[in-house]
Amino acid sequence: MEKTKAQDKILNTRLPSPCYILDEAALLNNCRILKKLQDDTGCKVLLAQKAFSNYDLYPAIAPYLAGTEASGLYEARLGAEQMPGKECHVFCAAYKEQEFVELLKYADHIVFNSPSQLKKYGFRAKDAGKEIGIRINPECSTQEGHEIYDPCAPGSRLGTTLAQWQASMTPDLIGILDGIHFHTLCEQDSDALAVTLSAVEEKFGTYLHQIKWLNMGGGHHITRPDYDLNLLKKCILTIKEKYNLEIYLEPGEAVALNAGYLYTRVLDTIQNKDTQIAILDMSAACHTPDVIEMPYTPPLYNAGKPSEKPYTYRLGGPTCLAGDIIGDFSFDTPLQEGDTLLFEDMAIYSTCKNNTFNGMPLPDIWVIHENGSLELLARFVYQDFKYRLGSK
């Protein structure tokens, strides 16, 4: 369904508020871009479930992807069960002994964060017929202003540096490796990947000749309209041909970028000195935690930047957290109690990160299908809140 028509359809439908709505058409459009990238370069694209794990949509997107990437046991199981027959990759900074045996049931590619973890679990995984990799840290930061998302920041716990490799990677450990993994980007273009690849080759190029595959991680904003796809293809093909490697990418955001909404209503409007404020029935802290963690201001349909339109409001949630603020927006007319608003780009890092702080109910999850029909996927009630806190 055409995007603006989807948004208008949602706003003209009386839905429970707040609720998430996944946009099937937008999701599939992203996946078609990723499928063409694979066809053009021979690379394989995995869904990083940490960003999008709404498995009801997995049957729709599975034909376009090589499989899933997981951050631990539960995500690995979800990927294996909900995308059967597809590859299931997993990376974790450190695995738990009591979970590793079960993990071997689901994952076919297991990436370790350190030589010590590789030594502890790698031979066991190899004996179980798994593909084995190690994550490297090329110590090449390409991000600005988001140190919390920079795996190459000084003192990072993620990935093995060249010094650590040289000190601890014995010939027997190198001998069981099938691949090398790095993940250094966050919502970036392919120019950042090109810089990173230069650092990877400079520090680890010798070892690239000794493996079968290279996983370039996630953070590639491939489906963003201004993304440089040609440079990405050049990066992939150059490394693939130079070292005779199979190339993996594992974006999460690129799969579900701009493919979801959060529908919400105005509960009250108040004024504090010169600031007009609207209290919504959704919470940044509970329902869009990346708004506070990143931080960023999400797009809001039919709204403008502060003072761009005649009426500017600060939008906030109903919780006790003083910082439960979504951001400042402007509107053509004054907001009133009962007005409906539609936040965009809410398919990523929302349903998989939300919480029930202050006893806030979790929003319903809906999908708007390509034909414009709306379907309820999940509804949450008091017992879902209570179950997380005890057993009685």
* pLDDT tens, residue by residue, 17-64: 999 999 999 999 999 999 999 999 999 999 999 999 999 999 999 999
* Residue span of the structural domain in which 247 resides: 42-256
- What's residue 2's pLDDT? 73
Both 241 and 268 in a single domain? no
**Backbone angles phi and psi of 305, in degrees to 5:** -70, 165
The percent helix, strand, coil of the chain (3-state, each to 5) is: 35, 25, 40
Both 285 and 143 in a single domain? no
Instruction: Supply 155's token pair.
Output: 């003192």
Both 46 and 136 in a single domain? yes
- What's residue 144's pLDDT? 79
As a whole number of Å, the CA-based R_g of the chain is 22
Collapsing DSSP to helix, strand or coil, 35 comes out as helix
Q: Tell me which DSSP letter residue 362 carries.
A: P
| HEC profile of 5-45 | HHHHHHHCCCCCCCEEEEEHHHHHHHHHHHHHHHHHHCCEE
Q: Could you tell me the pLDDT band of residue 299, with boundaries at 50, 70 and 90?
A: very high
The distance from CA 146 to its chain's CA centroid, rounded to whole angstroms, is 16
State yes or no: pLDDT of 392 exceeds 80: no
Both 83 and 209 in a single domain? yes
Average pLDDT over residues 74-78: 98
Q: Is residue 340 part of a domain?
A: yes
Average pLDDT over residues 386-392: 89
For residue 252, what are the β-bridge partners?
none
State yes or no: pLDDT of 284 exceeds 80: yes
pLDDT digits (tens, 9 = 90+) for 81-122: 999 999 999 999 999 999 999 999 999 999 999 999 999 999
Domain boundary among 212, 236, 256: 256
Both 195 and 173 in a single domain? yes
Average pLDDT over residues 244-258: 98
Sole residue written with tokens 């594992």: 250
Both 278 and 176 in a single domain? no
Both 180 and 93 in a single domain? yes
pTM given for the model: 0.96
In this structure, how many other beta carbons lie within 10 angstroms of the beta carbon of residue 380? Answer: 14
Both 210 and 307 in a single domain? no
Number of domains in the chain: 2
Both 236 and 271 in a single domain? no
Both 78 and 207 in a single domain? yes
